[in-house]
Structure 1
Amino acid sequence: MKEQVEELFKECLSEATDEDLQIIKQLLEGVQRKCNRENGSIIGGIFAMDREMKDGHLEVSIPITPVTHNSLEIVHGGVTATLVDTAMGTLANMMLPEGYGAVTTNLNVHYLAPGVGEHLTAHAEIVHQGSKTIVVDGKVVNSDGKLVANSTGSFFIFKKKQ
């Protein structure tokens, strides 16, 4: 496997543009962030997600780079959805007692403006926490503070296997 990866890496580098090199660098840094446990998932590492708890709600930010772009050179809607789902799901899981987890059962994303600027930040806040589900409100803003997306998510609570 290592030899296949090395060969593919050499092929990619041989004809890479500056943008391609930037993308390769971000992907490798993402793997490194996951290995160093700076992010809990490869997605969090590749998108360079940073999180911060503020006044009872969670913020998760990512830089806008060619890795996040669609063919129109704005943030891909799926990246925006992943960002807000991550923020809402992380907050839902943080609210649970030891031994419990929560997974997304429903995600609604209303896109309001293109993802442009230096970074996107998702804000998540608990709307309702019951014994079986948690409902979370999410908003995504760009680096200028413009609202990019408004979201809600429902999360099913389950007991983790020991």
Structure 2
Amino acid sequence: MQEQLHKLLDEVLAGADEEETLSIKQLLNGVKRKQNHINESIIGGIYAMDKCSEDGNFTISIPITAVTHNSLNIVHGGVTATLVDTAMGTLANMMLPEGYGAVTTNLSIHYLAPGIGEELTASATIVHKGSKTMVVDGKVINSAGKVVATSTGSFFIIKKQ
């Protein structure tokens, strides 16, 4: 397996332009971030998600790179949705007692502006916390402070097995 991986990496790097080389570096650094426990998941590592929680505010930021771009060279809507869902889900899980988790049951997102600039930051706030469900609002802004998307997520509270 390792030999096949090295061969594939060599082949891809041999034909890669600068943007593709930087993307490969970001993907590999993402795996390293997961291995070093900087991020809890591979996807969090690949997007270099940085979490911040202070004074009751919770945010996750990602750099805008070729890995986040769609064919129009703006952030892909699915990346924006992943970012805000991760922020809302992480906050929901932070509010639960040990042994419980929250999973997304519904995600509504409204795209308001293109994802451009240096980074995107998603913030999340609890709207409702019941015994079986939670509702969380989210907002994504770019590095210039422009709102890129707003979102609402519903989460089902489950007992971990």
TM-score (norm 2): 0.99
Q: What is the 5 A alignment of 1:119-134? A: 119-134=119-134
Q: Which runs of 4+ in 1 moved over 3 A?
A: none
Q: What is the 5 A alignment of 1:11-160? A: 11-160=11-160
Q: 1:56: Cα distance to partner? A: 1.6
The one-letter amino acid of 2:121's match is T
Summarize deviations over 1:137-162 as a string: whole Å, max 9, x none: 0000000000000000000001111x
The one-letter amino acid of 1:119's match is E
Which consecutive residues of structure 2, in runs of 5 or more, have no partner in the other structure? none
CA distance in 2, matches of 1:75, 1:13: 24
Any idea what SS the aligned residue of 1:144 has? coil
CA distance in 2, matches of 1:57, 1:128: 16
The one-letter amino acid of 1:70's match is N
Any idea what SS the aligned residue of 1:52 has? strand
CA distance in 1, matches of 2:57, 2:130: 18
C-alpha contact (below 8 Å) 1:57/1:91 kept by paired residues = no
Percent identity between the aligned chains?
A: 71
Which consecutive residues of structure 1, in runs of 5 or more, have no partner in the other structure? none
